[in-house]
Structures are given as C-alpha cells and as structure tokens.
Amino acid sequence: MGRLKGRVALITGGASGLGAATVRRFVAEGARVVIADINDAAGESLAAELGDAVCYAHADHTKRDENEAAVRLAVERFGALDILHNNAGAPFSGKFTDVDEATLRRITDINLIGPFLMSQAALPALRESRARQAGGAVILFTASLQAIMARPNFTPYTTAKHGIVGLVRGLALELAPENIRVNCICPAATDTPMLKDFLPGMAGDWDEAKERFRQTVPLGRMAEPEDTANAALFLASDEARMITGIALPVDGGTTAA
C-alpha cells in the first residue's frame, strides 16, 4: 500500500458514488483528500468517517470563487495540491427535440464548463507541486463511455463528455512540458444511485433492467464504483508517469465489441 503516500488530492463530486469510492481508495493508499461537493451532509459525513486525512469543502465547480476556495483549503490544510480529480457531473436522458436551452446549458455547465473552471483554479497549486514527485502533478477527469461512443437520447450529455476528451488532449499537450499529466476515465454505466438515469426504458422492473444491461457487457458483470476508483488510483500514481492525454474505458469490453 501507499501508492499515493504524501500526495494531496482534491476530488469534486467526492461525497457519493464514484467520487466517494475514489476518496476511500486514495486515502487507503496514503493520500490526504479534500472532498469538494454541494451535498454538504454526505461530504461532511464521509470526511468525519475517514478522519484527519480528509476534509470537506462546499464547492459548486461551475463557480470560480468556490473552486478557488477549495484549492486554498487543500494548500492551507495539507500544504500542497498534487492531484485534481474532476469527477463531479450530472446525468441526462431525453429526446434531442425536447431539450430546451436551459437544460442544454445546465448539462454543459456541470459536465464540461465546471471541470474546465476547476482545472484553471487548481493549476497554480499544481505547478507549485509538480516537482514533488517523479510522475509530476496530475489532473484527472471522470468522463463517461459516452465520451468515446454514443447512444440515442443522451445527446446533450454525450456532447459535453466528448468535450472532456478534447479538453484532456489539448491540456495534456499544453502541460506536458511542465510535468503535469492529464487523463480521463470513461466508465460504463455503474451500479451507483445515478444508474437509473442511464438505463431508461430497458425494462419496467428495475432488477430486470440491470440484468438486461449486464448481458450487454462482454465480461458479463456490472461496473462497480471501485472499478473507476482503481483506474483513478493507477493514473494518479507514478506507475502511470508516462501516460498523459488518454481516455481510458472502464467498460468490461463494451468498446471492443
């Protein structure tokens, strides 16, 4: 253990689901973590559970001042910021013709603009810490399988997540000379409370819907939050020090089919 010993991470959307699993995994590997979220009750509860290695910041990542405050907290509480994990996002499903402008802007703001703004806020601190580890500083994004493929009736979400891949590739090249690595993880629909937003109409019964989805995955099982957390751990560690600019599927073989 200890693959992130001495590192400081900030994880947006860290109060639940994929984010909470990643917080737990990073702490288990020696990191100190700032949970940034808008769910204060869940974020504070998780921070209290995990002890002195974790603190909570209320942060809506679409608001520049709240992003800057979360970064300051990481530096003031733990002395540095080595890893930013842009994990927060929001689901959407519905027909393209039914999408109004307010919905389009909301989905784009939460899934693309917010991560962009948080990355800008964190960059000065990441530049300060990049020499602390051989693998440099790290920016991660939770994208989606919809970032590298598409399904009908998810178009605003798919558009925003495709934008994340473009952001990762462009930023990876901009920051490579500074030893700051940038990657994203593209998980398939995962067994979290948000799963129902990604399996609309597969069946009237929820257990049947999950089983039908499971049958579409070549490995024959549902992704769990820990699968994404393990991918994030690898990409954040020095084991991935030569990896930047990638979109890593965590999908049980779906994109290979």
pLDDT of residue 159: 97
Asked if 158 and 206 sit in the same domain, the reply is no
Q: In this structure, are 65 and 47 located in the same domain?
A: yes
Q: Strands across the sheet with 137-142, in order?
A: 54-58, 32-37, 8-12, 83-86, 137-142, 180-187, 247-250
Output the pLDDT for position 5.
Answer: 96
Residues in the chain: 257
Pair 214, 98 in one domain: no
How far CA 6 is from CA of 73, 98, 135, 140, 230, in Å, comes to 17, 48, 13, 18, 18
Judge whether 254 lies within some domain.
no
pLDDT of residue 193: 67
Is residue 56 domain-shared with residue 109, that is, in the same domain? yes
- Predicted confidence at residue 133, as pLDDT, reads 81
Shared domain for 25 and 59, answered yes or no, is: yes
Rounded to the nearest 5°, which phi and psi values hold at 163? Answer: -60, -35
In a domain, 234, yes or no: yes
pLDDT tens digit sequence for 206-235:
677 778 778 888 999 888 999 999 999 999
Residue 56 among the catalytic residues: no
| Same-domain status, 26 and 137 | yes
Indicate the burial class of 39 (C-beta count within 10 angstroms; 0-12, 13-18, 19 or more): middle
Kindly report the pTM of this predicted structure.
Answer: 0.94
Query: How many CB atoms are located within 10 Å of the residue 195 CB?
Result: 18
In a domain, 166, yes or no: yes
User: Are 145 and 236 members of one domain?
Assistant: yes
- Claim to verify: residue 156 and residue 244 sit in the same structural domain: yes
The per-residue pLDDT for range 74-114, each reduced to its tens digit, is 999 999 999 999 999 999 989 999 999 999 999 999 999 99
- Residue 55 forms beta bridges with which residues? 34
1 within domain boundaries: no
3 assigned to some structural domain: no
Residues of the chain with pLDDT under 70: 1, 193-206
Q: Give the range of the structural domain holding residue 37, as residue numbers without chain letter.
A: 8-188+226-248
- Kindly state whether residues 63 and 140 are assigned to the same domain: yes
Q: Please check whether residues 233 and 184 belong to one and the same domain.
A: yes
Domain membership of residue 202 (yes or no) is yes
Asked if residue 231 and residue 208 are part of one domain, the reply reads no
Residue 126: give its domain's CATH number: 3.40.50.720
Q: Which of 26, 78, 116, 157 is catalytic?
A: 157
Total number of domains in the chain: 2
